């Protein structure tokens, strides 16, 4: 174990690794564990970290003294679990002494700059496929596959476009509104048959799956603040979808658009 | 027989949306298909849907933690896409439909069902996760921190 690293360097590496993991969809306990692992492997006496979905606080003690920093996590995150897995394995390699601090830093920068694991077009196709398959899973007819897939592709694409320009909940609201409206139009036009199954397909890419999973795992790991924050995120997203759906259902049932 | 195939495809599609590592795609798909089948069988067996999703989530969590150790990947990688097979989407849609039609009694009944199912998924995750992580937790607590 090499202990000749300056305190600011240790803190810098810990923060970079933690922020990258958090932005790409890791749960709180994993981020804290990685920060602690990297810091201790750099020779720090103690590493305390406090990670929330919106910011990281760390406090490191080494021979030179003591340093505390914080890092604010902004909006507009993209989930990339491959990056989480790569940082996780970098921190383990470092702990077991297979790579140097310099290599850790270079690998972190490389991971930060790396393109997502799958190209954008493939993720759009996957979103469409998930929507189409879900119409079938919930007893829709074969004719509902294509409308479901198309609506899902639309709502997924719109969510990504809006997410950069407005709060997450509004983006989901407008995406759900567009997806369900299109579902209604396809049924009115006679392209699809089962309105509810197609709506379900349209909405499935918007379901906050990662937020729910991480909220449950955070609460389970006693990270109460993060757990409650992520539950709130999931609840608000679900609520945004519900309001959009209610709006379109009201139009449909009110007979405005048959 | 078509159900597990659909579950497999849908899970892999979600895994691609979340950028799950390539080596985890097929295992994640199998976990998703398994979760769907457990939910399906439980309902055929006459169990409450809440029990069905609970058992599905328990399966997803346990098999994900096991695979995470084998492939040396974070458990989340397998869990997030598999768990989406259990989300009570149709039940949530029926809730909104009933409320919009001003059928509040049916709406409340559906809403309760949806919430219970969401709770069932969470409970399945929590229980399995707590069991699998017990050894690791003990280690971390014992290790402690040297303060100075």
What is the tens place of the pLDDT at every residue in B11-22?
999 999 999 999
Core vs surface per residue A44-70: b (16+ CB within 10 A) or e: bbbbbbbbbbeebebbbbbeeeebeee
Q: What is the pLDDT of residue A65?
A: 87
Q: What is the pLDDT of residue B135?
A: 62
Would you say residue A74 has pLDDT above 60? Answer: yes
Distance from CA of A72 to the nearest CA of B (A): 23
* Bridge partners, residue A56, by sequence: A51, A71
In the block, tokens 């937020």 appear at A211
Residues contacting B48, CB < 8 A, separation 6+? none
Mean pLDDT of A45-59: 93
B97-132 pLDDT, tens digit per residue, is 898 888 999 999 999 999 999 999 999 988 887 787
Q: Which residue has the higher pLDDT, B138 or A58?
A: A58
Q: Mutating which of B28, B86, B93 best tests the A interface, going by the most A Cβ atoms within 10 A?
A: B93
Distance CA A256, CA B137 (A): 57
Residues belonging to chain A: 258
A82-91 pLDDT, tens digit per residue, is 999 999 999 9
The answer to whether the beta carbons of residues B28 and B36 sit under 8 Å apart is no
Q: What is the pLDDT of residue A253?
A: 73
Would you say residue B67 has pLDDT above 70? Answer: yes
The answer to whether the beta carbons of residues A186 and A192 sit under 8 Å apart is yes
In the block, tokens 């992580």 appear at B133
Confidence of residue A5 (pLDDT cuts 50, 70, 90): confident
Distance CA A225, CA A56 (A): 13
B89 touches chain A (CB under 8 A): yes
Closest-approach residue (CA) in chain B for A47: B145
Torsion on CA atoms A19, A20, A23, A24, rounded to nearest 10: -150
Domain ranges of chain B: 2-142
Distance CA B105, CA B111 (A): 10
Contact across the interface for B18 and A79, Cβ inside 8 Å: yes
Q: Which of B114, B6, B139, B134 is nearest to B53 (CA)?
A: B114
pLDDT, mean over chain A:
89
Confidence of residue A7 (pLDDT cuts 50, 70, 90): confident
In which element (H, E) is residue A52 found? Answer: strand A46-52
The answer to whether the beta carbons of residues B18 and A81 sit under 8 Å apart is yes
The answer to whether the beta carbons of residues A243 and A170 sit under 8 Å apart is no
Closest-approach residue (CA) in chain B for A199: B93
Q: What is the pLDDT of residue A180?
A: 93
Q: Identify all chain B residues contacting A126, using CB atoms and an 8 Å cutoff.
A: 12-14, 16-17
DSSP state of B24: G
The answer to whether the beta carbons of residues A116 and A78 sit under 8 Å apart is yes
Distance CA B37, CA B56 (A): 8
Instruction: Give all strands of the β-sheet with A55-62 in edge-to-edge order.
Output: A46-52, A55-62, A65-72
Q: Identify all chain A residues contacting B140, using CB atoms and an 8 Å cutoff.
A: 33
Q: Which residue has the higher pLDDT, B141 or A135?
A: A135
Mean pLDDT of A152-163: 92
Confidence of residue A258 (pLDDT cuts 50, 70, 90): very low
Q: What is the pLDDT of residue A4?
A: 60
Tokens representing B42 are: 């439980």
Would you say residue B145 has pLDDT above 70? Answer: no
Would you say residue B147 has pLDDT above 70? Answer: no
Q: What is the pLDDT of residue A130?
A: 94
Would you say residue A134 has pLDDT above 80? Answer: yes
Q: What is the pLDDT of residue B138?
A: 56
Note the pTM of the prediction, 2 decimals: 0.89
Contact across the interface for A46 and B80, Cβ inside 8 Å: no
Contact across the interface for A213 and B125, Cβ inside 8 Å: yes
Mean pLDDT of B41-60: 93
Q: What is the pLDDT of residue A87?
A: 95
Confidence of residue A231 (pLDDT cuts 50, 70, 90): very high
Confidence of residue A164 (pLDDT cuts 50, 70, 90): confident
Would you say residue A57 has pLDDT above 70? Answer: yes
Report in angstroms the alpha-carbon separations of A4 from A59, A212, B146.
18, 42, 19
Confidence of residue A1 (pLDDT cuts 50, 70, 90): very low
In the block, tokens 């394995």 appear at A89
B148 touches chain A (CB under 8 A): yes
């Amino acid at each position: 174990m090499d202990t000749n690293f300056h305190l600011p360097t240790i803190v810098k590496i810990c923060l970079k690794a933690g922020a990258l993991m958090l932005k790409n969809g890791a749960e709180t306990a994993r981020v804290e564990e990685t920060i602690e692992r990297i810091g201790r492997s750099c020779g720090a006496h103690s590493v305390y970290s406090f990670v929330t979905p919106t910011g990281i606080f760390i406090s490191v003690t080494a021979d030179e003294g003591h340093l505390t920093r914080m890092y604010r996590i902004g909006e507009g995150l993209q989930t990339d679990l491959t990056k989480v897995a790569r940082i996780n394995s970098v921190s383990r390699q470092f702990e077991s002494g297979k790579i140097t601090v310099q290599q850790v830093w270079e690998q972190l920068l490389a991971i930060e700059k790396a393109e997502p694991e799958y190209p954008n077009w493939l993720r759009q196709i996957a979103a469409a496929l998930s929507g189409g398959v879900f119409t079938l899973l919930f007893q829709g007819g074969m004719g509902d596959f294509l409308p479901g897939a198309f609506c899902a592709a639309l709502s997924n694409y719109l969510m990504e476009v809006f997410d950069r320009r407005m709060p997450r909940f509004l983006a989901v609201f407008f995406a759900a509104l567009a997806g369900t409206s299109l579902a209604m139009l396809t049924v009115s036009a006679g392209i699809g048959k089962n309105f509810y199954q197609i709506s379900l397909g349209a909405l499935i890419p918007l379901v906050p799956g990662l937020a729910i999973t991480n909220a449950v795992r955070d609460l389970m790991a006693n990270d109460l603040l993060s757990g409650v924050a992520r539950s709130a995120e999931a609840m608000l997203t679900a609520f945004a979808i519900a309001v959009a759906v209610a709006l379109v259902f009201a139009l449909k049932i009110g007979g405005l658009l048959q | 027989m078509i159900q597990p195939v659909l579950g497999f495809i849908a899970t892999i599609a979600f895994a691609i949306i979340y950028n799950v590592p390539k080596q985890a795609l097929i295992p994640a798909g199998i976990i998703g298909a398994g979760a769907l089948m457990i939910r399906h069988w439980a309902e055929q067996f006459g169990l409450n849907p809440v029990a069905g999703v609970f058992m599905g989530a328990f399966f997803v969590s346990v098999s994900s933690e096991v695979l995470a150790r084998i492939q040396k990947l974070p458990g989340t990688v397998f869990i997030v896409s598999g768990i989406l097979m259990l989300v009570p989407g149709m039940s949530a849609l029926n809730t909104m439909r009933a409320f919009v039609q001003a059928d509040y009694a049916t709406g409340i009944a559906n809403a309760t069902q949806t919430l219970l199912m969401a709770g069932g998924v969470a409970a399945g995750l929590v229980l399995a996760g707590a069991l699998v992580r017990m050894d690791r937790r003990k280690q971390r607590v014992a290790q402690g921190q040297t303060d100075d």
